[in-house]
């Protein structure tokens, strides 16, 4: 079985995100970029499945400009066998990303497509579900545990009420939650080996997908600064304060 894992390039989670002075986007010049943490967890789980003997190949894929090859090489250093780079200068929205991934699925025919449950830059939490719908295959999202047996995946999911376990037939789309695993540390020898692993570049028009933007973001603004706290002497003062703020 083959596992396809998606990797998105995002601002590292340890970096404080800053909006550009002209409001045109997020500042990325000189900023550390990394694999989306949920995607890194998905890749780690795919590698563990392969190491248990339940998969023969792990392929990582990313969509974007040439810069995403840095994250693909990191994925190869972690242990992936091959990488696919769908080249486009635009940042595809979830539906376009799902359509692109569907084309890769049709090419690669994986038994599992593993994604992070969401990206930390836009928090959309949509691509995995959209891909499953377009592919017309089962999905198991927010996975905190994955077990494979007899062509099925038993997935423990994190839901509002706690945990639930579902079973889906393969091929299927799985998305990872934070508690699924702890990604491995990449060692220098593996980074050197990754430079020799195959990384295929695919032009977007080769997939028959238009390089279109689903919607346009006109302006970015940082969240408003929090005001200082205030100590009130009585419940009456609290009620008056809430009324002054229009909350009552």
Domains of the chain: residue spans and CATH: 2-244 (3.40.50.620)
Quick one: pLDDT at residue 213?
62
Residue with structure tokens 């062509």? 151
Average pLDDT (214-235) is 81
| pLDDT at 205 exceeding the cut of 90 | no
Mean pLDDT of 176-204: 93
- Please tell me the least confidently modeled range out of 124-133, 152-161, 205-214: 205-214
Is the pLDDT at 216 greater than 90? The verdict is no
CB 8 within 8 A of CB 35: yes
pLDDT tens-digit series, residues 8-65: 999 988 888 888 878 777 888 888 999 999 999 999 999 999 999 999 999 999 999 9
Residue where the block lists tokens 């990384």: 199
pLDDT at 36: 96
Rounded Cα gap, residues 34 and 102, in angstroms: 24
pLDDT at 214 > cutoff 70: no
Determine the pLDDT at residue 211: 64
More confident residue, 228 or 169: 169
- Per the DSSP assignment, residues forming a β-bridge with 139 are 173
pLDDT value for 218 = 78
Closest CA to 29 of 55, 11, 14: 11
66-84 mean pLDDT: 95
Alpha-carbon torsion (204, 202, 66, 130), positive or negative: positive
- Is 122 in contact with 93 (CB distance < 8 Å)? no
Does residue 113 contact residue 2 with C-beta atoms inside 8 Å? no
Most confident residue range from 13-22, 88-97, 192-201, 221-230: 192-201
Retrieve residue 124's tokens: 């959309």
Q: Is the pLDDT of residue 68 over 80?
A: yes
pLDDT at position 137 over 90: yes
Has residue 77 got a pLDDT over 80? yes
Average pLDDT value for residue range 95-110: 95
């Amino acid at each position: 079985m083959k596992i396809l894992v998606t990797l998105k390039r995002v601002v590292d989670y340890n970096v404080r995100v800053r909006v550009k002075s002209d409001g045109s986007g997020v500042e990325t010049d000189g900023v550390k970029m990394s694999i989306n943490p949920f995607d890194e967890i998905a890749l780690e789980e795919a590698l563990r499945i392969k190491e248990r003997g339940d998969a023969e190949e792990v392929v990582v894929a990313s969509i974007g400009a040439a810069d995403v090859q840095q994250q693909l090489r990191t994925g190869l250093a972690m242990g992936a066998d091959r990488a696919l780079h769908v080249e486009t200068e635009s940042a595809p929205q979830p539906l376009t990303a799902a359509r692109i991934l569907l084309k890769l699925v049709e090419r690669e025919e994986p038994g599992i497509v593993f994604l992070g449950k969401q990206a930390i830059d836009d928090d959309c939490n949509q691509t995995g579900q959209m891909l499953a719908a377009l592919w017309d295959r089962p999905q198991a999202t927010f996975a905190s545990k994955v077990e494979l047996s007899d062509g099925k995946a038993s997935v423990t999911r994190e839901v509002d009420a706690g945990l639930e376990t579902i079973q889906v037939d393969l091929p299927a789309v799985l998305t990872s939650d934070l508690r699924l695993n702890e990604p491995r540390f990449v060692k220098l020898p593996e980074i050197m080996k990754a430079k020799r692993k195959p990384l295929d570049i695919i032009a977007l028009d080769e997939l028959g997908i238009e390089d279109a933007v689903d919607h346009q973001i006109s302006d970015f603004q940082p969240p408003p600064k929090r005001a200082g706290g205030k100590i009130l002497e009585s419940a009456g003062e609290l009620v008056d304060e809430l009324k002054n703020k229009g909350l009552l």
